[in-house]
Structure 1
């Protein structure tokens, strides 16, 4: 016969309530915990999850919806989410928008149908106000990572992208640069606007001249950065370049080196993201590190607080401070 929680309690010489506390992640005495663990292994006991869900009125599962499973930054975010959820006895179920052009709001059905206790939506693309309003109207526990489309009363977490670029421009100014070019990003990315605002604000605050000819757009790829840098070299009149992501920074470096320029002797360059190759390139790239794992853990903690308060929401737009990482791609003038 299939072993029950009563069998586990008897073999572990403890009560059913103590075994239940252990199974639900509640603290028990270390000696008792070891006895319960041995009993579970010996009996090959598996909790009846359906019965557990009926008692708790919860699935103990959280849905994580990502727009693109190939995005290199999401693994660190998901690691942070898992760390908090695992510690609190929740499982993760991962979903992706995939190739079928599903919308994030399509996954709200998981909440309406009681398949998950809450949802974390992960996307660095711009969200539509209508979609975020629909998420807000659901009244279920929902947390956004990335853009909130300016909608209040829905919890969200993002990097303070504007602050990151401001730190970069201020750093370049401190080491003597006054003519600073900028490689922007694609319109569809939520961070593009904030990073551009950070560049423009810092240029104005430092009393520098904003030259529109020194601002070019890229698609955040190596090729896009390469093409953008070719445009900037035709214009000239700058000593440093802020690339709004690392991929375009490396493309820009290739364009400069191809034309015989030395980095950082002829031009200084800074990126944004701190991807793995940034510390291994030559020269190593000064850049901005994003706290991806912290974003995930904060989002999970925020969601669990909502679940524990029966879905009650307190609006929070949590912008995490990125970190300037100084390496070898900039020269003091």
Structure 2
């Protein structure tokens, strides 16, 4: 058994209650503080976290639940969460629900069992309405990153996917493009719905004709983008392609180049996400950058607002604006309105 606060008190020549006050951040006399610090170092004393949790009724830990820990997009979000947690004096535990449970809603048990003080649920997959309702009805601190099913009364943070694609359409329109094809993503991705919505709404707002033959689906992989581009090239009748993620755009770029189409002279291609490789393909890819760090920060700030009961954050969806990153994959053409 390791040293206890009784041992610290005896070696420092003070009382157990004084040791407890010092360990809980309360002021003690300077000479007492110095004696306590010497005793703690000499004994290599570490406070019992479980005992402290029972006394304080808190763990000073939050849980961050992701659907897939290998998803590269979550690193920025996690950094944002950690930055806020550190300022608050909290630790984070990270769990991947695809390797631990059947679904993310099971992790609410961590709150009910008192293992964490709050949860941040991170997923870009579509969430089931019944799961969102359970989150809405809980009285425990929970924040959502990603899909909130357009349900009122939930605190969630996401990127404004529709606005990101709308910015791309407006950019291409400004370059003279009027016939713009679109490669959509998989149905299970919540962002897919909003990115397609942004494409259609922007086309309509700018007076551009929506042609369903110029909209094809992919699985958001390089191969999926390659195959989707092959299907589009069989249809023709477009001067630009918006791929709903960068991997798809890179696959589409390769398919176009293999067929002898020069980019951006004959065809403009745009992606979404700004993954690292998008800057290194040739030509470098124009894309949309998501504010992952800020998403993590705002979700954590909202969660700690719930934990501390300060009520600064209302339970609404926060949509953060992405940023258009202009590189070399788009070219100016003569507009034909």
User: TM-score of the superposition, structure 2-length normalised?
Assistant: 0.88
Q: Provide the rounded CA distance (Å) in 1 between the counterparts of 2:118 and 2:189.
A: 25
Whether 1:66 and 2:69 are equivalent positions in the alignment is no
Aligned equivalent of 1:21: 25
Aligned equivalent of 1:316: 316
Q: Is the 8 A contact 1:222 1:247 kept in 2?
A: yes
What is the 5 A alignment of 1:26-65? 41=41, 43-65=43-65
Q: Provide the rounded CA distance (Å) in 2 between the counterparts of 1:119 and 1:324.
A: 31
Which string of whole-angstrom CA distances, capped at 9 and with x for unpartnered residues, describes residues 113-147 of structure 1?
11111111110000011110011112111111000
- Detail structure 1 runs of 4+ shifted over 6 Å in the superposition: 32-39, 310-313
TM-superposed deviation, 1:36: 8.4
Deviates more, 1:42-51 or 1:149-158: 42-51
Aligned equivalent of 1:159: 159
| Higher Rg of the two aligned structures | 2
Q: Provide the rounded CA distance (Å) in 2 between the counterparts of 1:55 and 1:113.
A: 16
User: TM-score of the superposition, structure 1-length normalised?
Assistant: 0.89
Q: Provide the rounded CA distance (Å) in 1 between the counterparts of 2:34 and 2:265.
A: 63
Which string of whole-angstrom CA distances, capped at 9 and with x for unpartnered residues, describes residues 135-172 of structure 1?
11121111110001122111101000000001111011
TM-superposed deviation, 1:304: 0.6
TM-superposed deviation, 1:43: 4.4
TM-superposed deviation, 1:311: 9.2
Structure 2 unaligned segments of length 5 or more: list them. Answer: none
TM-superposed deviation, 1:45: 2.8
Aligned equivalent of 2:122: 122
Q: Provide the rounded CA distance (Å) in 1 between the counterparts of 2:251 and 2:162.
A: 22
Which string of whole-angstrom CA distances, capped at 9 and with x for unpartnered residues, describes residues 260-313 of structure 1?
111111101100000000111111000000011111111111101101118998
RMSD, matched Cα: 2.7
Q: Is the 8 A contact 1:182 1:243 kept in 2?
A: yes
TM-superposed deviation, 1:202: 0.3
Q: Provide the rounded CA distance (Å) in 2 between the counterparts of 1:191 and 1:105.
A: 20
> Cα–Cα, structure 1 residues 306 and 232, in superposed 2: closer, same or farther, change >3 Å?
same
Deviates more, 1:151-160 or 1:197-206: 151-160
Whether 1:96 and 2:96 are equivalent positions in the alignment is yes
Number of aligned positions between the proteins: 323
